[in-house]
Amino acid sequence: MLEVTDTARERLKMLLDANKEEPEECIRITMDESGNLGLTLSKEKPGDQVVEHEGEKVLLLDPIITEALSNVIVDTEDSTDDSKLTLKRKPEN
């Protein structure tokens, strides 16, 4: 299962609050036919993995994305301007 750090959850909430137009919208990780990942605003669908921050849904993943990112951690990385979301492989045991 995809892991999302607390700092990434906070960042997702900030992004969502700044961009959503409808209360039930969340950020969704998407994948195109070439395997490139992206973010979009979407509403929850049956079967989605839902990530929450402080009781509010902030991130949605459909079952295909959940499986593809099962050994990934969503985190943040500070840059000179702001913090950005990053994907990192979980360490192997």
CATH homologous superfamily of 3-89: HesB-like domain (2.60.300.12)
Confidence (pLDDT) at 93: 65
The predicted-structure confidence for 9-57, as pLDDT tens digits, reads as follows: 999 999 999 999 998 999 999 999 998 999 999 999 999 999 999 999 9
Phi-psi region of 59 (alpha: psi -120 to 50; beta: other; left: phi over 0): beta
Alpha-carbon distance values, 21 to 16, 29, 69 (Å): 9, 18, 27
What residues contact residue 36 under an 8 Å CB cut-off, 6+ apart? none
Would you say 2 and 11 are in contact if contact means Cβ atoms under 8 Å apart? no
pTM value is: 0.88
